[in-house]
Structure 1
């Protein structure tokens, strides 16, 4: 494991509250009662805490933070249990606040599983605006991709370019930044074409530009799959997870004991940081 922190970027917290949460559920908080910002604000007033919808898989941690400055986010890495590529081992967020006097040890806030959809760090109020799979894209655009056994035949018929994928691997054919209606119409045309021959073997996907997808696209060239986007007028960092690594290491989440401690700790300069620590993978223990 590399103990050296690498910089991932910056977030801001104009509300005075930073949230580290599971991406798959960020848009669900507002459907299940009070908005995320209300729950996070209450936790921050108590010094920080873990948030969870008991009957759902929504989880997050919220902490107080300085509202008047950028907050650095960084990470240490370790080799993935899947392909030995770097993956996050420790995630750390500067909070811009001094470490309280008289507190001599880290403060445990709870623990978080690794979400298959990724994790997000950002302002609590800003994240209230997060758009998920059922939402409309603010820019009215979408990406269309297709792949499969007869993708080359489809490419000869319809065109398209290779869509970048994490790790520089060859991606599917498709188009970026199409108007949603155009993307859906073209997908229907490809589907109708493939349906005229049994076993044509071409799959399609339309991904509207909601936040759930755009943070992944923003991080496609980052070695840790970190993407910076704006949500609710605030810069947010999303951390995608390699699906292979997630399946080997994190599949099952909390139900299988795969939840990892989140703490408040003092940094070398006497400031306070939020730290999420994922211990090294132990194949025998697994």
Structure 2
């Protein structure tokens, strides 16, 4: 039975090295020694494989065409959390021919990866050296402000702020794309107002436009929470995993043995693809 793939977008790899890795730790590589691009380049030079740093951050690197967009697709299976479609296979076309002497029927195993609670990224190894994590500084000097909780309607009557739709539903109230100083001042006003009148009952969040936040925001309106952003001059694709699905299928990650194989495989046109395969959840077994 043929697989039904969904197009997620394209990435590019001008350095000739493509990385599939844990989003929560991309900026950690440069803090522990060699930059991500150097580690990934060495691995890709040997044909591709898995590498890690203390199992906190993990990735797989492979050679890829440097002169064209690389298509990213996915298949889905029902989530055990809500039975909505969740990613079962990520496939990235590498723009390279399958080696002539290699057996087309046998996948080449590169290693395995956990589903990082903080998300997954696919992008150019050198471009990802520029990634700004959760505590980084936004290059554009902007931030988004959100508020929610028991007194959100009262706060809206006082301060305004639109409903920010996320994942097919109305999200929290807030404002997008504010200068950092204005975002901080608005959050301080909301917090002071709630403290003065209620003491508690309102949560206020300021999300600076780091790459960590931007990739999540890019996936707000995609059914599989996937979106593309530019990082280091390269097009990068990120996937934010549903937290309910993660808790039921992937919780514990590598420590709990929740890791899934990454392979190189031949496609139907004689090209090479990288696949990360998350087995479908077996509803019958748990019932």
RMSD: 1.5
Note the alpha carbon deviations across 1:82-120, whole angstroms, 9 max, x for none: 111111101000111111122211110100000111101
Q: Identify unmatched segments of 5+ residues in structure 1.
A: none
- Which residue of 1 is the match for residue 176 of structure 2? 176
> Is the contact between residue 145 and residue 173 of structure 1 (CA under 8 Å) also seen in structure 2?
yes
> Is the contact between residue 2 and residue 76 of structure 1 (CA under 8 Å) also seen in structure 2?
no
2:58 matched to 1:77? no
- Which residue of 1 is the match for residue 230 of structure 2? 230
- Which residue of 1 is the match for residue 112 of structure 2? 111
Shift of 1:285: 6.1
Note the alpha carbon deviations across 1:212-268, whole angstroms, 9 max, x for none: 011111111111111110000011111111111111111100111110000001111
SS of the counterpart of 2:137? coil
- Which residue of 2 is the match for residue 99 of structure 1? 98
TM-score by length of structure 1 reads 0.96
> Is the contact between residue 78 and residue 281 of structure 2 (CA under 8 Å) also seen in structure 1?
no
Distance 2:87 2:108 in 1: 21
Shift of 1:183: 0.7
SS of the counterpart of 2:39? helix
Distance 2:110 2:256 in 1: 20
TM-score by length of structure 2 reads 0.96
Q: Identify unmatched segments of 5+ residues in structure 2.
A: none
Deviates more, 1:113-122 or 1:97-106: 97-106
- Which residue of 1 is the match for residue 38 of structure 2? 38
* Number of positions where the alignment pairs a residue of Structure 1 with one of Structure 2: 284
Shift of 1:2: 8.6
1:1-286 alignment runs, 5 A limit: 3-54=3-54, 56-104=55-103, 105-166=106-167, 168-283=168-283, 284=285
> Is the contact between residue 20 and residue 121 of structure 2 (CA under 8 Å) also seen in structure 1?
yes
Distance 1:2 1:156 in 2: 53
